[in-house]
Structure formats: structure tokens, C-alpha cells
């Protein structure tokens, strides 16, 4: 019972980005407080601003924006309207303007017309900015995937940033992008109007990670859980945290990818493995979660491959080793027959069967066509490429229990002589 | 204060106002205030309400007629004048509009603010003291009086206890109010027996016994009576939210409620001032009020008043002369007249319309925008005292229009002489001027400043009137749309671009048309001219061809960044563009410094060297004034941030004693940080902070680059390098797929350039930044010291 409840609590915590990022709310150095100061000061002082949030994917840019906006909405009720655009959806200037007009209408309970031309929409946007500015209302534009807005003539960005240069408007443009060179993509006129504020999102340092994990996994003292369970749970957890093994696991995880989203994925897995009988987290949970993150899909795919598929892969590898740059199914079959003739293996299959195995490999993306040309040719004649490196193939063959010894020997013979 | 309004009906002073019951609330009173016959027909409460101009237009309107179609309404909104219909009305007489009326000894002008009598005999105007009585001795005149900022009571300086020598600086609150604030019950001095406290018009207004209004227009009815159309003011108590704590005593709101009232009911002048003027005119008399906001009576919300819509602009019509409302749809078709009609409409009638109007479409835009407003003026706006840093931030905003434009005098003179030369002679030969310069050198701003100056010269009569049309090439949906916009600006009609081109061609080649004001010279400013380039360059050709037509009276000013735009064009276009060019060079550092310090004059927020540093840095990089201002603003923001973070500031004040409390100058370090943020690409920091594996990948790429000399490498090759690096340095070798994932992540943030991950071992990768940057970032990496070996 308690286990289910705590599992539900953890899951809701880990999926709620606001809760996750509220761990860093208090520190003045955090991006949260920097961004919040920027927006709130431009709202309270009635000025315009533009800022770019940069950082790798999963570093919590959008989540921090959401958190800040939510808090500001609490502080300044009905003085803020937020317009959200996404570069993947609105990179076309006309559709973006239309979307802005739609959201502005929605925020202010005005009637929106789909039929309005883009000139009308941009005029409406400018008028609305003016009116909102006069009414002490701030308009915040959040442009997600900012780099995608820089395609084309950048009319949207130009008119948006140009509108910010009038005294009456009161707007903040927040660009969110994972491309570090996003501001270099701007056209020179647009760049001159952009106010080059950048907030960089970098993976948190180790002690912040530690704090974040504690913030996420400790059970709250005052809750519906029994206090005995809570204290027992928390003390066990702190034992795990101080364990050397746990630190190793954590380090090897963060060595690969130190972003917050990666950590959250790991913790979610660990929490999902919780022992439902006792209701306590153990080190084993973290270990199995770590194993999950370390899977190598290509090698796994090789483990599940049939013997004939392995033959084909080895043949391709041999062909590449012989520095044949271009080969197709027929040349692979030739090689296959040659192996068969030389070693007299028992695995002799008909052409049709081999073709089926070949198609199967194509589907699993272990091999692929070399180019997109000739898509109307029959499969047998299109040039193909091996997508698995020799190293991986070697490990794959070794780990596949059904692999015939001759194949391994052949492979050893070929490449590791 | 005795604020019970005396309701004695003893002194009927007004001769002809058939007044309704005195107890009705204020607004309904207004609506029922006497109107001439034709307005009454629609304003009587039984009939559906309808926009006023409609009723004035055709007096015989039956009440059930549906609202006129949209097109009609629009047209009318452009000439909000009942004249054409009035001439067809029964009386066959016209309303005569005036700009100034001398009535009952007072001179009233359009745009003035006046007191208006509220109701019949509430308190006669017989006692209308201009001067207030002292609240202690109850006598007027004598020595200097001082006003309490809380209860607005007046006091003789000598009557106070203790008496004051002179009027103190800043706010002053009388002893009674102070005591009341402390929670004590105070007995205010009562007037001597037999003498009633006379209330000034101000007090009556503030206790809603009088109205204040702004005159929008003055006219004489056919029957000879004088009327005025006014916009009402409202006191904070009468708004939906009531008086808010931050409201000033003398604060009024301008409403969007119009009425026609008779001249008779006007009492005298009062002065409602904007915040800026109010500060300056602090001791101008008793009838001064403060108005910062407009109040919407339908939606009960507030909006700041802008500075420019101060009073209607009337270019024509002198004293006692009929307004000439030409059917020229453009010159007067400004926002004001549209609003006027809009706001007189009753909203409920309009909700029930079958076709509701969308706010974002052209026709509907005027509907609904007044809905935008704040229901309560936020406190932080009013009560906040700006610190020096905040002032500096505000004045450094790009949007803030500086009082003067330093450093561009020569260029502005040149533009002025060009424009004057082009329009002052009668012939007005069309001419072109091409202005070029890098972004942020004040091109558009200078032209606009020149235009403002010239317009004021037109106002004084030194220059012939002209029309100014401004178009931005980047804001056009397509280059051809420029015809549409020019035509709309000139004529007010909206047509397709082909038709517009046709009309414009006709207009510019056929020469003067019948009407006079159509024949004013036109100055066309095209910003970002290079955006108008089409494949056959026909748009530019057309636009630059018009000025050469003998009767076009068109002057074109083009602005673009590139210096050699004329050379890039077809010869027939560049020859029409002429040879007049004007170059705006990038600012050098003394100029930038002057620009910044001229904005910051009087604000003590920046160290002198800090400004110099910023301007030198920007001048060296680009000479972009926007950039320089933004850097300074960012620096001020950083300083402000540090000041406002509670933890930090305590540390600050303890460590740095020289900075006295509340005073903090923007230093070199702040500028440095701001410049760093603006100019330095963030990739070094990201490289320093990326994951271990990411660092190894970067180092391996550099290693591979040095070894092979080829910038591009395949994933397979890179992976083998990484594995060998890891094994020789006792790192756990990562799996290929993990490597691929991390590589793709780096590719997403464009630290490396790579193909999509599905290509797996055939994926091609390349460093996006020079290998020296990687070496610099990862040279002394604490958790992987062996990396430096390979760099």
C-alpha cells in the first residue's frame, strides 16, 4: 500500500518538470532566478527585452521558462499574456503571425478570424502590443526551437523585434534553442535589433545533482505516509546515497550525458523497480536501471539475428575488407557460395531464402542501401552498405549462442589476423 | 469634511433644461440630458441604442432598422461629421462648427477642459470661490496658503501650529490627517456659526457634485444655441473598482463616454494635466487635476493615455468658419474618429449581430481592442520609486526616443535640404535619395527626426504641407504588396495590388487631380529597400519611375544596408535612382560615448570609464549604436540584479564600503560581463561543461584532425580512435551506440557538424569550431587530465 503510494508520488514528481526545477529556485546563480529577474523587471519597469536560452537538449530550458512564467502569473495576475510558438510548427512567417493573432485573441477574449491576411495579422499584432502596453500588460513571446525561425527572410523576427522598439509596447521575446550558434543565424538587421542576452544552460555540477536527487527521492515528513515508514525509507535512501557503488553508477551515467533529463530517465527506471512488498528502494534498483541505460541496440540486434543473417553480415564484412566499394545482393550471394564451397558448411540455403533474410536485415537497419538512387530497381541489384562496424560484429558473433563456430573462426581469420 | 451634497432646490439658475429626477445615478443622467430633436429620437431610453452618428445622419431613422452594413459604417467613420445628411434634413440648415467660442465671458477652445454643472440647483454657481478658505481661520486670501496632500484642505502658513515659514519641499500632510492616520479621532475645526463652509469647484468635483469634461468639438445648432461635444472625466470613486490606494487626491480618469451638452451648463475652465505637466505645474491654482489613465465605461478597465492623442488635431478651419469635411478619406481617417464612433455604440446591440466581427481582420480590428485593458491599475506601477539604475535602464532602452540625436547633424542637414529642395519649389520635381549604412547607425531615426522637424515647420507655416508615407520592406508579405499599401495610405481604399498599381500609375502620370489636398507633395520613405528586389525588378522600377513623371510630386527616400545596391540593379533602375546618396558610417567611439552619455545625463549610475570602455569595444567591433546601448543596459541590469539579490547585497555592502547604501555604480566589471555575453560565443563554456564522453569525443576529433589532416571523418574511424584512447588511458571504453548518441547530441548543439545517426558507422562528422577552441576549452580539464596530451 505504502509502496504503491510512494511509487505514484515518485512518478508524478519525476514527470513534473516544474517540481524538478523548483530545486534550484532559491539560489541566485541559477538560471531560474536570472530569467525571472529579467522578465519581472521588464514587466514592472514596463520595458521590452529579448533573451535567448541556449543549451543542449534535455537541460531544462523550456521547463525553466514554464516555471518562471507560472510564478510570474501568480505575482502579476492578469498582467501577463504568453504567446507560445514552436519553430517546428510555425517556421513559416504567415502561419506564425496567424498563430500569434489567434493566441492574442484567445488571451483577450476577442474574436479571431482565420481569413485575415498576414498583413492584417501583423498589423493586429502591433496594435495589440500597443494596447497591451498601455494597459500595463506584458506580452511574452516564447519561441521554442528558435533556430528554425531563422529560415527564410526572417520577417516574423524582424517585425517582432522592431515592434519592441516602440515605447508603448511591453513585451519580452524568449528564444529557446539547442543550437549554440542560434544568434549567428540571424540576419544582420534582425541581429542588430536583438538584444543579445543569452542564458546558458549547462549540465549541473555534481553537488547540484546530489541535491536534486535528494529533492526528488526523499519522502516528505508531513504527508499521509506513516512517520515510521518515512523515516525508515529516508534513512535507507541516505545509506544508498553514501554507498560507493551508487556513486560509481551515478558517475558512469553522468559521464555519458550529464543533462537533467537523462538523470530523470534513470531515476524513473530505478523507482519503477521498487520492491513492492517492502516498499523500500534498494541499491539493486539503481543497478538494474543503470543496466537498462547501457544497452547497445546494435549488439542486441545481432544477438537476435538468425544464422543465415549472420552469414550475410560476415559476407558483407569480407567484401568490404576486400575493399570492394560497391556491392549488392548478388555479389553477396557469390561470396556466400564461395564460403560454402570452401568450408563445406551445413548451412546452405536457396537464393530466395537468402533474399528474405537480406530484406529482414534491411528492415532492422543493420544494413542499408548505399544511396537513394535506383529505388525502382529490384532489391537484388541495388548497392548496399553494412551499418555495423567490424568491432560490433565481432562482439555480436561472440555473444550469439547460435552462431556456428566456423563463422567466428572465419571472422577472426579475416580481420584479426 | 462635510461631504453631504446639499440638495436644496432653492436656486434654479438654469433657464432651459428640462431636468429629470435628481436622484438618478450619474450616467443615466447624462444620457437623458437634453438633446435636440434628432438626437433625442435615438437616445430616448425606450429605443434600442445606436451609434450617435447614425442617428445624426438620418433623423427619420426608424428604431427597428438593422445596423447598417459594415462597408457603410466604415465609410462614415472616416468623416465623422453629420454635415452631408444634415443638409438633407428637414431644417435644411447646417451645424456650424467652431474651433473657439466665447461664451458667457469665457473663451472655450477645442481640447480645453471644463467644469460642467451636474444637476439642477445642487449648489448654485453664485458661490463659486476661486480661492479656498483656510481650514483653520476660515478666511480667504491674505498670506501664502499650503495644501495638505491628503485631504486637500488649504491652510494659511501662519495659522498652522507651529506656523511654517515657507512652503516645505516635497509632500506635506496636515496635522489632522497625520493624526487620523495614526488612528486617533480628531476634531477638525468647525466653521464659525452662521458661516457655511464654501466649497470650491474642485471639492465639488471630487465629491461628484460637478463634472469635468474635455471639449471635443464646438458647434452651433441651426436654432442658434451653442453646443459642445465632450468626453467626460471620471473620479476614481465612480469607477468599478473604486478608489485604489495609490490614487492621488487630484486624480481623474478620462472616459470614452461622449455626450453633446449645451454650452449653458459649462461652468468654467479647469486644467487636467498629464503626469509630466502636472509635476511642473504643481502650484498653479486650485483647478489643476491629474490624469494618467483612460477608463473604459463598457469594460471597466484602464489604459494609459498616450502622449500623442492629446487633443484632436485640426489642421483646417479657423474661427467661425465651417469645417470643410472633404470626402478625402485619408487625411482625417485616423484612429480617433474610428474610436469615436465605436465607443458611442452600445455593446449589447452589437453582440447580437449575426455576423460578429473578428478582431484581427481588417474590418473588425477596431472592434474589441478597447476590451484590452487592466481592471485595476497595478500598484507597482504607481508606487514604485525608481532608483538611479532603473532610470538608467529605462533611458537606455532602444525604444526610448532621445531628446536629441547627437552625432548625426551633418547627415540630418543633408536630408533636410534634400527634402526641402524637393518639395519647396512649386514644380516639385520628383527626386530620389538613397541612404545606406550598416545596421544601427541611425538611418531611419534620422529621417524620422527630420520629418518631425519639417512637420512642425509646416505647422508654423514655413513650409508647404506634404504627405509622408513610411513603408518597411521587411514587413511586406511580398514586394508587390507595396503598391497596395501606398495606395491605401494615399486614398484610404483597399484594393488588390494589381489594381493599386494601375491607379497609382494613373495618378502619378496624369498629374494634378481635382482636389487640392490630393496634390500635396508626397514623401515616400522605403526602409530596407533591398527587400523589394524581385526577379525582373519591376517593383523597384515602378517606384523609382514615378518620381520622374512631371506631375507626380513624389519624393522617394530609400534606405538599405548595402552600399552598392544601385550597382546591383539593372541600369535603367540605377539611372532612375539618381546619384544622390548618403552614407551613414559606423559610429566611432567618441560618438558612441556621446550617444550613451547624452542619454544618461542627470542620472548617476555609470562610471565614466565604463561608458568609454563599452563604446570603444563596440566601435571596434561594429559601430552599432543599438549594440552599445544594449550592452550598457545589460550591464545596468547585471548590476541591478546583484543589488537586488538579498544574499549578495549584504555581502557586497560589507566587503565594499565605498558603495554607500542604495547607491551603486555600474562598473567596468559589469560592462565586461555584458560584453562577454554579447560577443563571446557560448561554445567554449559548453565544451568545458559537457559530459566526460563528450569531451573525449571532441579530443579524439582534434587528434584525428591533426593526424589525418582531413576535417571530415567517419564515425567508425572516430570510434576506433576513441577506443584506443580509452584503453591507453584506462578509461572504460564506451559502446558504439552510446558514442553515437553522445555524438548526435553534440551535433544538435552544433559543436560538431554531423549527419543523422541512422547512418551509424558511415556517419560523417566534422568539428564546427576551430580545433584551437577545443584545445583552449579542454586543456586543463580536472576530471580528465590526460586529455591535454592529445591536444
Q: Is the pLDDT of residue A145 over 90?
A: yes
Minimum mean pLDDT range among B89-103, B630-644, B773-787: B89-103
Q: What is the pLDDT of residues A334-370, one digit of tens each?
A: 888 888 888 877 778 888 999 999 999 999 888 988 8
pLDDT band at B128 (very low <50, low <70, confident <90, very high): low
The nearest alpha carbon in chain B to A34 belongs to B641
C-beta atoms of B372 and A108 within 8 A: yes
Residue A417 C-alpha, separation from nearest chain B C-alpha, in angstroms: 17
| End-to-end C-alpha distance for chain A, whole angstroms | 60
Q: Which of residues 205-234 of A touch B (CB under 8 A)?
A: none
Specify whether the CB–CB gap between A88 and A148 falls below 8 A: yes
Q: Which of residues 118-147 of A touch B (CB under 8 A)?
A: 118-124, 127-128, 131-137
Q: Say how many CB pairs under 8 Å bridge A and B.
A: 264
| Nearest partner of B418 among B391, B450, B387, judged by Cα | B450
Beta strand residue intervals within A150-308, DSSP E: 171-177, 197-200
* B251-262 and B226-234 beta bridge pairing: antiparallel
CB-hemisphere CA count at 13 Å for B764?
Answer: 3
Q: What is the pLDDT of residues B275-294, one digit of tens each?
A: 777 776 655 567 778 888 88
Mean pLDDT of chain B: 72
Q: What is the pLDDT of residues A311-331, one digit of tens each?
A: 899 888 888 888 777 888 989
- Compute and round to an integer the Cα radius of gyration of chain A: 29
C-beta atoms of A120 and B401 within 8 A: no
Say what the pLDDT of residue B394 is.
82
Say what the pLDDT of residue B359 is.
72
Grid coordinates of A77: 495576475
Q: How large a percentage of chain B has pLDDT more than 70?
A: 68
Helix/strand/coil for A248: helix
For B749, which of A56, A252, A388 is closest by C-beta distance?
A: A56
Say what the pLDDT of residue B21 is.
36
C-beta atoms of A116 and B358 within 8 A: yes
Q: Is the pLDDT of residue A79 over 90?
A: no
The nearest alpha carbon in chain B to A183 belongs to B681
Using a CB-CB distance cutoff of 8 angstroms, which residues of chain A are in contact with residue B682? 54, 180, 198, 200
Q: Is the pLDDT of residue A23 over 60?
A: yes
> By the CB < 8 Å criterion, does A299 face chain B?
yes
Say what the pLDDT of residue B381 is.
64
Q: How large a percentage of chain B has pLDDT more than 90?
A: 5
Q: What is the pLDDT of residues B512-523, one digit of tens each?
A: 554 555 567 888
Mutation target for B interface from A60, A124, A361: give the one with most B CBs within 10 A: A124
Grid coordinates of A227: 512517520
Rounded CA-CA distance B587/B227 in Å is 57
Q: Is the pLDDT of residue B316 over 70?
A: no
ipTM: 0.91
Say what the pLDDT of residue A98 is.
92
Rounded CA-CA distance B320/B312 in Å is 18
Say what the pLDDT of residue B334 is.
38
Residue with the larger pLDDT of the pair B510 and A314:
A314
Q: What is the pLDDT of residues A154-163, one digit of tens each?
A: 888 988 888 8
Q: Is the pLDDT of residue B651 over 50?
A: no
Using a CB-CB distance cutoff of 8 angstroms, which residues of chain B are in contact with residue A158? 474-475
Specify whether the CB–CB gap between B296 and B370 falls below 8 A: yes
C-beta atoms of B736 and A117 within 8 A: no
C-beta atoms of B691 and A123 within 8 A: no
Q: What is the mean pLDDT of residues A266-294?
A: 89
Q: What is the pLDDT of residues A361-381, one digit of tens each?
A: 999 888 988 887 777 788 888
C-beta atoms of B378 and A33 within 8 A: no
C-beta atoms of B378 and A169 within 8 A: no
* H or E stretch at A334: helix A329-343
Minimum mean pLDDT range among A266-270, B106-110, B597-601: B106-110
Residue with the larger pLDDT of the pair B177 and A137:
A137
For A181, which of B401, B681, B693 is closest by C-beta distance?
A: B681
SS3 per-residue string spanning B389-443: HHHHHHHHCCCCCCCCCCCCHHHHHHHHHHHHHHHHCCCCCCEEEEEEECCCCCH
Q: What is the mean pLDDT of residues B404-431?
A: 79
Say what the pLDDT of residue A116 is.
81
Rounded CA-CA distance B37/B57 in Å is 13
Residue with the larger pLDDT of the pair B681 and B750:
B750
Most confident of A98-102, B182-186, B553-557, B560-564: A98-102
Specify whether the CB–CB gap between B485 and B476 falls below 8 A: yes
For B368, which of A57, A110, A159 is closest by C-beta distance?
A: A110
Residue with the larger pLDDT of the pair B537 and A268:
A268
The nearest alpha carbon in chain A to B715 belongs to A389
Minimum mean pLDDT range among A188-197, B191-200, B447-456, B496-505: B191-200
Residue with the larger pLDDT of the pair A311 and B43:
A311
> By the CB < 8 Å criterion, does A255 face chain B?
yes
Say what the pLDDT of residue A300 is.
87
Residue A10 C-alpha, separation from nearest chain B C-alpha, in angstroms: 26
Amino acid at each position: 500500500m505504502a509502496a504503491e503510494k510512494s511509487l505514484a508520488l515518485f512518478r508524478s514528481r519525476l514527470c513534473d518538470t516544474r517540481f524538478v526545477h523548483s530545486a534550484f529556485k532559491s539560489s541566485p546563480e541559477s538560471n531560474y532566478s536570472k530569467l525571472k529577474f529579467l522578465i519581472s523587471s521588464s514587466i514592472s519597469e514596463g520595458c521590452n527585452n529579448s533573451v535567448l536560452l541556449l543549451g543542449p537538449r534535455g537541460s531544462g530550458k523550456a521547463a525553466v521558462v514554464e516555471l518562471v512564467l507560472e510564478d510570474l502569473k501568480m505575482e502579476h495576475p492578469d498582467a501577463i499574456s504568453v504567446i507560445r510558438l514552436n519553430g517546428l510548427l510555425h517556421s513559416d512567417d504567415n502561419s506564425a503571425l496567424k498563430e500569434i493573432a489567434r493566441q492574442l485573441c484567445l488571451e483577450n477574449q476577442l474574436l479571431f478570424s482565420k481569413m485575415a491576411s498576414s498583413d492584417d495579422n501583423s498589423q493586429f499584432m502591433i496594435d495589440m502590443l500597443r494596447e497591451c502596453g498601455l494597459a500595463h500588460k506584458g506580452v511574452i513571446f516564447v519561441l521554442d526551437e528558435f533556430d528554425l525561425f531563422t529560415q527564410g527572410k526572417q520577417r516574423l523576427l524582424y517585425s517582432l523585434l522592431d515592434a519592441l522598439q516602440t515605447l508603448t509596447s511591453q513585451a519580452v521575446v524568449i528564444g529557446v534553442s539547442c543550437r549554440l550558434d542560434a544568434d549567428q543565424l540571424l540576419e544582420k538587421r534582425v541581429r542588430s535589433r536583438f538584444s543579445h542576452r543569452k542564458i546558458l544552460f549547462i549540465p549541473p555540477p555534481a553537488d547540484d545533482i546530489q541535491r536534486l536527487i535528494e529533492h526528488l527521492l526523499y519522502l516528505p515528513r508531513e504527508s499521509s505516509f506513516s512517520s515510521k515508514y518515512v523515516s525508515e525509507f529516508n534513512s535507507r535512501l541516505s545509506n544508498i546515497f553514501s554507498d560507493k557503488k551508487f556513486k560509481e553508477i551515478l558517475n558512469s551515467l553522468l559521464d555519458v550525458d550529464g543533462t537533467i533529463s537523462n538523470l530523470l530517465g534513470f531515476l524513473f527506471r530505478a523507482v519503477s523497480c521498487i520492491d513492492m512488498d517492502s516498499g523500500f528502494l534498494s541499491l539493486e534498483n539503481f543497478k538494474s536501471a543503470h543496466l537498462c541505460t547501457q544497452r547497445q541496440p546494435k549488439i542486441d540486434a545481432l544477438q537476435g539475428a538468425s544464422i543465415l543473417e549472420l552469414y550475410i553480415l560476415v559476407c558483407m564484412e569480407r567484401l568490404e575488407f576486400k575493399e570492394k566499394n560497391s556491392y549488392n545482393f548478388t555479389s553477396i550471394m557469390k561470396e556466400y557460395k564461395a564460403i560454402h564451397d570452401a568450408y563445406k558448411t551445413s548451412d546452405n540455403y536457396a537464393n530466395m531464402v537468402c533474399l528474405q533474410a537480406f530484406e529482414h536485415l534491411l528492415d532492422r537497419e543493420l544494413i542499408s542501401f548505399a544511396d537513394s538512387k535506383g529505388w525502382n530497381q529490384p532489391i537484388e541489384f541495388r548497392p548496399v552498405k553494412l551499418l555495423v562496424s567490424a568491432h560490433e560484429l565481432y562482439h555480436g558473433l561472440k555473444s550469439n549462442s547460435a552462431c556456428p563456430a566456423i563463422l567466428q573462426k572465419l571472422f577472426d581469420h579475416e580481420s584479426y589476423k | 469634511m462635510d461631504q453631504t451634497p446639499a440638495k436644496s432646490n432653492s436656486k434654479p439658475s438654469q433657464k432651459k433644461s428640462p431636468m429629470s429626477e435628481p436622484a438618478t445615478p450619474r450616467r443615466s443622467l447624462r444620457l437623458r440630458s437634453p438633446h435636440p430633436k434628432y438626437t433625442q429620437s435615438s437616445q430616448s431610453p425606450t429605443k434600442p441604442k445606436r451609434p450617435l452618428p447614425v442617428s445624426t445622419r438620418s433623423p427619420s431613422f426608424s428604431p427597428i432598422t438593422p445596423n447598417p452594413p459594415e462597408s457603410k459604417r466604415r465609410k462614415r467613420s472616416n468623416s465623422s461629421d453629420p454635415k452631408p445628411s444634415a443638409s438633407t434634413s428637414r431644417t435644411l440648415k447646417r451645424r456650424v462648427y467652431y474651433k473657439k467660442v466665447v461664451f458667457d465671458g469665457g473663451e472655450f477652445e477645442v481640447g480645453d477642459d471644463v467644469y460642467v454643472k451636474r444637476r439642477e440647483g445642487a449648489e448654485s454657481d453664485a458661490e463659486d470661490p476661486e480661492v479656498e478658505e483656510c481650514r483653520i481661520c476660515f478666511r480667504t486670501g491674505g498670506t501664502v496658503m499650503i495644501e495638505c496632500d491628503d485631504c486637500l484642505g488649504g491652510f494659511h502658513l501662519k495659522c498652522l501650529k507651529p506656523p511654517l515659514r515657507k512652503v516645505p519641499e516635497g509632500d506635506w500632510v496636515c496635522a489632522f490627517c497625520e493624526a487620523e492616520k495614526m488612528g486617533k479621532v480628531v476634531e477638525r475645526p468647525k466653521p464659525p456659526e452662521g458661516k457655511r463652509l464654501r466649497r470650491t469647484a474642485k471639492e465639488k468635483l471630487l465629491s461628484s457634485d460637478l463634472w469635468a469634461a474635455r471639449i471635443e468639438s464646438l458647434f452651433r445648432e441651426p436654432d442658434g444655441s451653442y453646443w459642445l461635444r465632450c468626453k467626460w472625466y471620471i473620479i476614481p470613486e465612480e469607477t468599478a473598482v473604486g478608489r485604489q490606494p495609490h490614487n492621488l487626491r487630484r486624480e481623474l480618469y478620462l472616459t470614452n463616454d461622449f455626450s453633446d451638452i449645451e454650452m449653458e451648463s459649462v461652468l468654467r475652465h479647469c486644467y487636467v494635466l498629464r503626469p509630466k505637466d502636472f509635476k511642473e505645474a504643481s502650484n498653479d491654482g486650485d483647478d489643476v487635476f491629474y490624469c494618467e489613465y483612460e477608463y473604459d465605461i463598457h469594460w471597466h478597465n484602464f489604459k494609459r493615455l498616450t502622449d500623442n492623442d492629446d487633443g484632436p488635431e485640426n489642421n483646417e478651419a479657423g474661427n467661425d468658419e465651417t469645417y470643410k469635411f472633404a470626402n478625402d478619406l485619408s487625411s482625417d481617417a485616423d484612429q480617433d474618429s474610428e474610436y469615436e464612433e465605436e465607443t458611442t455604440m452600445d455593446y449589447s446591440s452589437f453582440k447580437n449581430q449575426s455576423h460578429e466581427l473578428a478582431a484581427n481582420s481588417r474590418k473588425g480590428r477596431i472592434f474589441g481592442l478597447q476590451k484590452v485593458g487592466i481592471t485595476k491599475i497595478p500598484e507597482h506601477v504607481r508606487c514604485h520609486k525608481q532608483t538611479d539604475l532603473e532610470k538608467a535602464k529605462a533611458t537606455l532602452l532602444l525604444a526610448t526616443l532621445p531628446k536629441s540625436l547627437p552625432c548625426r547633424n551633418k547627415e540630418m542637414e543633408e536630408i533636410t535640404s534634400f527634402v526641402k529642395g524637393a518639395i519647396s519649389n512649386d514644380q516639385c520635381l520628383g527626386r530620389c535619395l538613397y541612404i545606406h549604412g550598416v545596421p544601427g547607425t541611425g538611418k531611419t531615426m534620422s529621417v524620422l527626426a527630420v520629418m518631425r522637424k519639417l512637420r512642425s515647420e509646416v505647422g508654423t507655416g514655413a513650409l508647404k504641407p506634404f504627405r509622408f508615407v513610411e513603408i518597411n520592406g521587411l514587413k511586406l508579405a511580398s514586394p508587390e504588396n507595396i503598391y497596395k499599401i501606398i495606395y491605401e495610405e494615399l486614398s484610404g481604399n483597399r484594393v488588390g495590388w494589381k489594381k493599386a498599381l494601375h491607379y497609382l500609375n494613373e495618378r502619378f502620370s496624369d498629374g494634378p487631380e481635382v482636389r487640392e489636398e490630393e496634390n500635396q507633395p508626397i514623401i515616400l520613405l522605403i526602409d530596407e529597400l533591398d527587400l523589394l528586389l524581385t526577379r525582373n525588378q519591376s517593383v523597384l522600377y515602378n517606384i523609382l519611375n514615378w518620381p520622374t513623371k512631371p506631375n507626380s510630386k513624389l519624393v522617394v527616400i530609400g534606405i538599405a544596408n548595402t552600399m552598392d545596391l544601385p550597382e546591383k540593379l539593372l541600369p535603367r533602375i540605377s539611372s532612375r535612382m539618381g546619384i544622390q546618396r548618403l552614407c551613414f558610417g559606423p559610429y566611432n567611439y567618441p560618438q558612441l560615448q556621446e550617444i550613451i552619455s547624452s542619454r544618461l545625463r542627470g542620472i548617476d549610475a555609470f562610471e565614466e570609464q565604463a561608458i568609454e570602455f563599452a563604446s570603444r569595444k563596440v566601435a571596434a567591433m561594429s559601430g552599432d549604436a543599438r549594440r552599445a546601448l544594449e550592452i550598457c543596459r545589460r550591464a545596468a541590469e547585471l548590476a541591478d540584479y546583484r543589488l537586488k539579490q538579498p544574499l549578495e547585497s549584504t555581502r557586497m555592502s560589507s566587503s565594499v564600503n565605498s558603495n554607500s547604501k542604495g547607491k551603486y555604480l555600474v562598473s567596468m566589471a559589469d560592462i565586461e560581463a555584458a560584453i562577454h555575453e554579447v560577443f563571446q560565443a557560448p561554445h567554449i563554456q559548453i565544451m568545458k561543461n559537457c559530459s566526460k564522453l563528450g569531451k573525449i569525443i571532441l579530443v579524439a576529433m582534434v587528434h584525428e584532425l591533426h593526424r589525418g589532416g582531413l576535417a571530415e571523418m567517419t564515425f567508425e574511424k572516430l570510434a576506433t580512435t576513441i577506443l584506443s584512447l580509452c584503453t591507453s588511458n584506462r578509461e572504460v571504453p564506451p559502446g558504439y551506440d552510446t558514442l553515437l548518441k553522445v555524438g548526435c547530441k553534440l551535433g544538435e548543439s552544433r559543436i560538431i557538424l554531423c549527419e543523422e545517426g541512422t547512418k551509424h558507422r558511415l556517419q560523417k562528422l566534422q568539428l564546427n569550431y576551430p580545433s584551437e577552441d577545443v584545445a583552449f576549452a579542454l586543456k586543463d580539464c580536472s576530471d580528465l587530465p590526460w586529455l591535454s596530451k592529445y591536444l
